[in-house]
Homo-oligomer: A and B are copies of this chain.
């Protein structure tokens, strides 16, 4: 843009009067739908900035981040990446928690618009594709980290190589001589959990090992799921020698329950987690786990979002960062 967009220039571009553009900006009702659309287009094409919202040079870009929780290691580490990267890029973070009585999508979008915020980062949010589309329609850029549901067409998402991670965890256990390996997953609807499970199944099949239905459990990404999972597995006629848990939290529950029941880890039971959060280092024994590059994921998402806010098309709709198996003390050779 050679010159700054004004109501007048936008009006000319849209072929309407200044008044009409003003009405659209102020959300007046008395504008025909088609006209409104043309004006909206002209506004974004010309890069029009609401007067109250032009940033004085010292102010920084604000990015909204919506997380499901702040009290879990997973979110905390992603958040750390987001904060670090945002600072480098001169952006600041407006944090909010989804879930519970979260405000409606419309309300949130309105607040963002009113403050001139134009970027939203969802961390494993349960927002539906329809809701995300609604936000995008208002000119807000959206990037999703580790989506629980596929976020819908045209929405950039950042995640990890869940399938490969699940496969490598299982191969590690196979390599230690275990053949009776169980899987305790997160929510059945969560795509990332499904991917880890598929990786697990793939590794077993490659070795020609039959997949046992009752070795595959699901629940949530929490310790309780791990506790109950181990109970259930130990009650089987032939309990597993090893467990691959779809998150560190689940693995934590498995370890706790094992200790309660006097099952020695790793001597009698090998356990692998997923995530590589700091929690996996605090357990005893320390947890063998598939580390996700959580900080990098946060950082990558921030960069992608800033690019989109800049009007550039995303490089790619889906970015997957590599996971890495960290072998520690919760896994051992089969006896």
List chain A positions with a Cβ less than 8 A from chain B.
51-60, 62, 65, 70-73, 76-77, 79-80, 83-84, 87, 92-97, 103, 110-111, 113-115, 223, 252, 255-256, 259-260, 278-279, 282-284
A60 contacts which chain B residues (CB < 8 A)?
Answer: 111, 115
Most B CB contacts (10 A, CB to CB) among A56, A80, A113 go to A56
Pick the 5 closest A-B CB pairs, nearest first.
A59-B114, A58-B114, A71-B76, A59-B115, A95-B95
Q: Which of B51, B111, B223 contacts A58, CB < 8 Å? A: B111
* Alpha-carbon gap, A267 to B146, bound state (A): 43
Q: Which of B52, B83, B255 contacts A95, CB < 8 Å? A: B83
* Minimum Cβ distance to chain B for residue A278 (Å): 6
When C-beta atoms are compared, the residue in chain B nearest to A71 turns out to be B76
Integer count of this chain's copies in the complex: 2
B278 with A256: CB separation less than 8 A = no
When C-beta atoms are compared, the residue in chain B nearest to A27 turns out to be B58
A93 contacts which chain B residues (CB < 8 A)?
Answer: 94-96
* Alpha-carbon gap, A14 to B96, bound state (A): 41
Most B CB contacts (10 A, CB to CB) among A65, A111, A115 go to A115
Q: Which of B96, B223, B260 contacts A87, CB < 8 Å? A: B96
* Alpha-carbon gap, A37 to B252, bound state (A): 58
A80 with B70: CB separation less than 8 A = yes
B52 with A53: CB separation less than 8 A = yes
* Alpha-carbon gap, A199 to B115, bound state (A): 47
A94 contacts which chain B residues (CB < 8 A)?
Answer: 62, 92-95
* Minimum Cβ distance to chain B for residue A139 (Å): 15
A54 contacts which chain B residues (CB < 8 A)?
Answer: 52
* Alpha-carbon gap, A308 to B225, bound state (A): 44
* Alpha-carbon gap, A93 to B58, bound state (A): 19
Most B CB contacts (10 A, CB to CB) among A62, A110, A282 go to A282
A83 and B70 contact, Cβ closer than 8 Å, known pairs A93-B94, A114-B56: yes
When C-beta atoms are compared, the residue in chain B nearest to A79 turns out to be B70
When C-beta atoms are compared, the residue in chain B nearest to A86 turns out to be B96
A279 contacts which chain B residues (CB < 8 A)?
Answer: 282
A59 and B95 contact, Cβ closer than 8 Å, known pairs A70-B80, A76-B70: no
A115 contacts which chain B residues (CB < 8 A)?
Answer: 55, 59-60, 62
* Alpha-carbon gap, A76 to B52, bound state (A): 33
* Alpha-carbon gap, A65 to B97, bound state (A): 15
Given A55-B115, A59-B115, A70-B83, 13 more A-B residue pairs with CB atoms under 8 Å apart are A52-B52, A52-B56, A58-B111, A58-B114, A62-B94, A72-B76, A79-B95, A83-B97, A87-B96, A87-B103, A92-B111, A93-B96, A256-B283
When C-beta atoms are compared, the residue in chain B nearest to A73 turns out to be B71
A55 contacts which chain B residues (CB < 8 A)?
Answer: 114-115
